[in-house]
Structure 1
Amino acid sequence: MTGFRAQLAEQRWDDHRYYHHSLVNQSLHFVSACTFLVAYIILWIDPAVASLLAWGVAMTSRQAGHFFFEPKSYDHVNQATHDHKEEIKIGYNLFRKVVLMSLWGAVPVVLLISPTLFGTLVEPDGVEAYLRHVGIGWLFLGVGAIAFRSIHLFFIHDIETGLVWATKIATDPFSDFKLYKGAPKRLLKGERMDYPDEVEAAAA
């Protein structure tokens, strides 16, 4: 268990120091974390609504931070190129995220073309029922994406690495809330970039 926790901390720290320099990105991750935490609660009551909230708000704000605001030039803090960071990324790098978000966008289109998903679902009665089908589709996509990458990591790394990564993804909203709760305030003060060593010292 000690090794598991150590690897979890390492994955979280690597993810932060490599991919969260922008305070805009950090602020969007804070919004995402808050939304995911609400979705976690709703998940036990209404999974479709929770999924719509998670994918429609939390995931879009989270990925927008990475795609549009995070620097992709040479990382002088970590002395690494963007290509190097993408190559060693444990989870979903930007290319894999493009594939994932493409599938995300395809779900409502497919259900619009075939509301019954080629006869496997009940015909939706109105917009609300259609959106519920989309929500459940997104829920399966999310669970499937985590399971797929975790199993992939079993083979290219080891089982522990895959389990640690899956745990990291599931608990990211909690750690992101704690880590990035000060980002919006700093952003409003005019700051734009963050340095990982300062965050690490503050969290110690």
Structure 2
Amino acid sequence: MQGASVNAFFQELARQRWDDHRYYHHCRINQSLHLISALNFIVAYALLFIDPAWSAWLAWGLSMTTRQAGHFFFEPKGYDDVNQATHEHKEAIKVGYNLRRKVVLMAIWAAAPLLLWWQPSLFGLIEPAQNLEGFLRDVGLAWLAIGVAGLVFRVLQLVVQQSVLTGLAWGTKIITDPFHDVMLYWRAPLHLLRGERIDPMHHVQSH
């Protein structure tokens, strides 16, 4: 039974990865931005053990902004001929953060520095920063907390709404996405240089 559970987990993880790729990564620009984001996330992971605050600055300031820019500004939002699905349908069935949820998350991210500027002690919860470097570190740690909270919140939400398996698989997918994205999209900039803006997704059509 334990072996069956582990097998079901990896099947669910593979399904979520496949759906994420085939539904939301048609544009080569988006794929290329995901490659840049993934490489920076990997560096941020390593930096997390050395300096968590600056790790969060790299993760949110560069990795997340390039990643989400690809989805918001470049990924097609019309009818998906490859998967025979509307954009609205894909947004409704998305396991993780759809565009509406991402707007909320990014708004919280953008509001964190403003809150710390207005309340350097976070209403008495932390020691106020004494200089600019201290302020930047507090912002970084706040962003790290937001990232962890956003991950845990959605995992718990999926556990309640769908299943423990779905929630744990999605959490694992998010944490390992940078490594998986490098494997998937390392050729994307080469395709862009050849003038291919949209991935024909032949591998999806023949799946």
Query: TM range, normalised to the smaller chain?
Result: over 0.9
The aligned amino acid for 1:52 is W
Distance in 2, Cα, partners of 1:107 & 1:63: 18
Identity of aligned residues (%): 56
Residues 61-80 of structure 1: matches in 2 within 5 Å? 61-80=66-85
Distance in 1, Cα, partners of 2:202 & 2:162: 28
In structure 2, the residue matched to 1:119 is: 124
Instruction: Give the match's secondary structure for 1:101.
Output: helix
In structure 2, the residue matched to 1:132 is: 137
Report whether the alignment pairs 1:91 with 2:96. Answer: yes
Q: CA deviation at 1:118?
A: 1.4
Distance in 2, Cα, partners of 1:199 & 1:44: 38
CA contact (8 A) 1:16 1:196 kept: no
Distance in 1, Cα, partners of 2:37 & 2:174: 13
Distance in 2, Cα, partners of 1:110 & 1:65: 27
Unaligned runs of 5+ in 2: 1-5
1:156 to 1:73, Cα distance in 2 relative to 1, 3 A? same
In structure 2, the residue matched to 1:49 is: 54
Aligned match for 1:29, one of 34, 43, 64: 34
Report whether the alignment pairs 1:176 with 2:181. Answer: yes
In structure 1, the residue matched to 2:3 is: none
Residues 7-26 of structure 1: matches in 2 within 5 Å? 7-26=12-31
Instruction: Give the match's secondary structure for 1:73.
Output: coil
Q: CA deviation at 1:196?
A: 3.0
Instruction: Give the match's secondary structure for 1:193.
Output: coil
Distance in 1, Cα, partners of 2:12 & 2:176: 14
Q: CA deviation at 1:177?
A: 0.7
Unaligned runs of 5+ in 1: none
3-12 or 119-128: which moved more?
119-128
Q: TM-score, normalised by structure 2?
A: 0.95
Report whether the alignment pairs 1:147 with 2:143. Answer: no
1:111 to 1:200, Cα distance in 2 relative to 1, 3 A? farther
1:58 to 1:199, Cα distance in 2 relative to 1, 3 A? farther
Distance in 1, Cα, partners of 2:19 & 2:152: 21
Instruction: Give the match's secondary structure for 2:126.
Output: coil
Distance in 1, Cα, partners of 2:205 & 2:52: 35
Distance in 2, Cα, partners of 1:133 & 1:154: 31
CA contact (8 A) 2:33 2:67 kept: yes
Q: Deviations over 1:5-44 (max 9, x none)?
A: 1110110010010000000000000000000000000000
Instruction: Give the match's secondary structure for 1:118.
Output: coil
Q: CA deviation at 1:194?
A: 0.5
Q: CA deviation at 1:197?
A: 3.4
Moved over 6 A (4+): none
Measured on the aligned residues, the alpha-carbon RMSD in Å equals 1.4
The aligned amino acid for 1:194 is D
